[in-house]
Amino acid sequence: MSKVNVSAQHVASLKPMEIVKDDLVRQRFIDLYGALWGEANAEATYEREAIHFNRLLADSANLKACTPVSIFIAFIDLAVCGLSVEPGTRALAYLQPRGYKTGAKDANGKDIYEQRCTLTISGYGELIQRTRAGQIRHADNPVIVYEGDGFSFTDHNGTKSVEYTLNINHNSERPVACFMRITRADGSIDYAVMLEEDWRRLAGYSGKANKKWDNNARAYVEVPNALYSSGEGNRIDSGFLMAKCIKHAFKTYPKLRIGRGTTYEADEAPRQDDDFYGMTGDDQQQYPASVPTESFAPAPDTSAGVTVDPSQSDNDDETF
């Protein structure tokens, strides 16, 4: 494991675009990646991810407004999870700004928030991690079932099975279920199934997690992720539904190793398994050592960030 330490004060003194190019940060990333995934590609991986990471920062004013320590932690977490933030329709991970309570209050007694950069792992990235960890051999693409299709699901003594028949005249504006077939490491088959009632429940959680203050109404208004209603007929977006199905599929699987500033797409807030950062100084204590638990589809547009109150984390494990 890397013996390079980086002081929180040193990181805080850097501008957002300087952080990943800093010599100490560079060495920390390379040493940690080499220790976890092998030294052969560590330096090349750093050079590639530093370019992708800074391009994402440069393109988002909200990300550049995040605290330097959170940007540092998110970058080091790339070395921890062994994924990439290279953009694309099948991106493995991406950066997301989140607002966190600082614990302080302003002169009017309102909570003060700060922006933190979070590394968010997509459904594609999670599948790679679970295959690499030996938890699964393969997972088929999720299949959306529409009104008019033939579909049944059974679970007999722990053995799950699905029967599905496509009706080419189905109502494409009315998805009623989504399922995914998983081949476990031992060769057995598992199925994940989501029904409309499941994603409606998640939409309710999303609204609570992303509520915003309405000056006209003088009250908080619940605003679910727009993808819950951006599909045909104001239904859930098809790619987003497949993303939720993948998230749902691994809900009972063992947790994977991720860092302090990392979430999966539906996490309430980052959680930490180990301290990988070699950071000294009081600033690192602002980041919780343990927070609650852990989609296919392009990442939802969260360029404006989301707001997280770690004390409100009992709504399943869904944010979006």
pLDDT tens per residue across span 48-69: 999 999 999 999 999 999 999 9
| pLDDT number for residue 16 | 95
Which band of pLDDT confidence, cut at 50, 70 and 90, is reported for residue 273? low
> Which pLDDT does position 217 carry in this prediction?
76
Q: What is the model's pLDDT at position 214? A: 76
Between 16-30, 100-114, 174-188, 302-316, the lowest mean confidence (pLDDT) is in 302-316
Q: How far apart are CA 314 and CA 7, in angstroms?
A: 34
Which range (12-26, 264-278, 297-311) has the least confidence? 297-311
Per-residue pLDDT, 255: 83
Q: Would you state the pLDDT for residue 318?
A: 43
Distance CA 297, CA 180 (A): 14
The whole-number average pLDDT for the span 244-253 is 85
Q: Give me the long-range contacts of 206-213 (CB less than 8 A, separation at least 24).
A: 206/318, 206/319, 206/320, 208/312, 208/315, 209/268, 209/306, 209/307, 209/308, 209/312, 209/315, 209/318, 209/319, 209/320, 210/306, 210/307, 210/319, 210/320
- Specify the amino acid at residue 194: M
Q: Is 304 helix (H, G, I), strand (E, B) or coil?
A: coil
- Nearest-CA neighbor of 268 among 288, 297, 239? 288
285 CB-contact burial (10 Å; exposed 0-12 / middle 13-18 / buried 19+)? exposed
Rounded to 5°, the CA angle 165-166-171 comes to 125
Over range 118-137, report the average pLDDT: 89
Tens-digit pLDDT profile for residues 165-192: 999 999 999 999 999 999 999 999 999 9
Per-residue pLDDT averaged across 231-258, rounded?
83
- Report whether pLDDT(11) > 60: yes
Neighbours of 167 (CB within 10 A): 13
Higher-pLDDT residue of 229, 315: 229
What is the structure's pLDDT at 213?
A: 76
CB atoms within 10 A of CB 84: 18
Beta partners for residue 161, in sequence order: 154
Residue with more model confidence, 306 or 65: 65
> How far is 264 from 267, CA to CA, in rounded Å?
5
Residue of higher predicted confidence among 223 and 314: 223
| Residue 320 pLDDT exceeds 50 | no
H and E: helices and strands count for the chain: 8, 14
Query: What are the tokens at 167?
Result: 């009706």
User: pLDDT over 90 for what percent of the chain?
Assistant: 44
d(CA 284, CA 289): 10
The pLDDT of residue 46 is 97
pLDDT band at 194 (very low <50, low <70, confident <90, very high): very high
Higher pLDDT, 53 or 226: 53
Summarize pLDDT for 199-219 with one digit per residue, the tens: 988 888 888 877 777 778 777
pLDDT band of residue 265 (cuts 50, 70, 90) is low
> How many whole angstroms separate alpha carbon 180 and alpha carbon 196?
15
Strands (E), 196-292: 212-214, 219-221, 262-264, 279-280
